[in-house]
Amino acid sequence: MTRKKRFLFLMETIGSAIGVVFFFPFYIMLINSFKTKPQIFQNTLNLPGGLEWSNYVKAFERLDFMQAFANSLFITAGSILLLVLFASMAGWKLVRTKTRLSSVIFFMFVSAILIPFQSVMLPLITIMGKLGFLNRLGLIFMYLGFGSSLSLFLYHGFVKSVPKELDEAAIIDGCSEFQLFRKVIFPILNPITLTVIILLTIWIWNDYLLPSLVINKEGMQTIPLQMFFFFGEYTKQWHLALAGLTLAIIPVIIFYFSAQKYIIRGVTQGAIK
Q: Which residue type, as a one-letter code, is found at position 230?
A: F
Q: Mean pLDDT, to the nearest integer, of 88-112?
A: 87
Per the CB < 8 A criterion, the answer to whether 214 and 117 are in contact is no
Residues 12, 15, 17, 21, Cα dihedral to 10°: -160
Report the number of distinct structural domains present in the chain. Answer: 1
More confident residue, 105 or 231: 105
Domain that holds residue 217: 62-271
* Per-range mean pLDDT, top range of 41-45, 145-149, 159-163, 194-198: 145-149
For residue 266, the model assigns a pLDDT of: 55
In this predicted structure, the answer to whether residue 1 has a pLDDT above a threshold of 70 is no
Confirm whether 52 is domain-assigned.
Answer: no
Confirm whether 121 is domain-assigned.
Answer: yes
For the whole model, what pTM was predicted?
0.81
Q: How far apart are the first and last CA of the chain?
A: 38
Distance CA 104, CA 76 (A): 30
Confirm whether 2 is domain-assigned.
Answer: no
Distance CA 30, CA 253 (A): 14
For residue range 159-177, what is the model confidence (pLDDT) as tens digits? 888 888 888 888 888 888 8
More confident residue, 169 or 262: 169
Q: Mean pLDDT, to the nearest integer, of 130-144?
A: 89
Give every CB contact of residue 234 below 8 A, 6+ residues apart in sequence. none
* Size of the chain in residues: 273
Confirm whether 234 is domain-assigned.
Answer: yes
Per the CB < 8 A criterion, the answer to whether 101 and 166 are in contact is no
Pick from 18, 72, 86, 35: nearest CA to 221: 72
Give the CATH number for residue 101. Answer: 1.10.3720.10
Distance CA 150, CA 191 (A): 15
For residue 264, the model assigns a pLDDT of: 58
- pLDDT category at 218 given cuts 50, 70, 90 is confident
Q: Mean pLDDT, to the nearest integer, of 225-241?
A: 77
For residue 86, the model assigns a pLDDT of: 93
Q: How much is the mean pLDDT over the chain?
A: 84
Greatest CA separation found in the chain? Answer: 74
Confirm whether 18 is domain-assigned.
Answer: no
Q: Which residue type, as a one-letter code, is found at position 78?
A: G
Confirm whether 7 is domain-assigned.
Answer: no
For residue range 60-81, what is the model confidence (pLDDT) as tens digits? 888 888 898 899 999 999 999 9
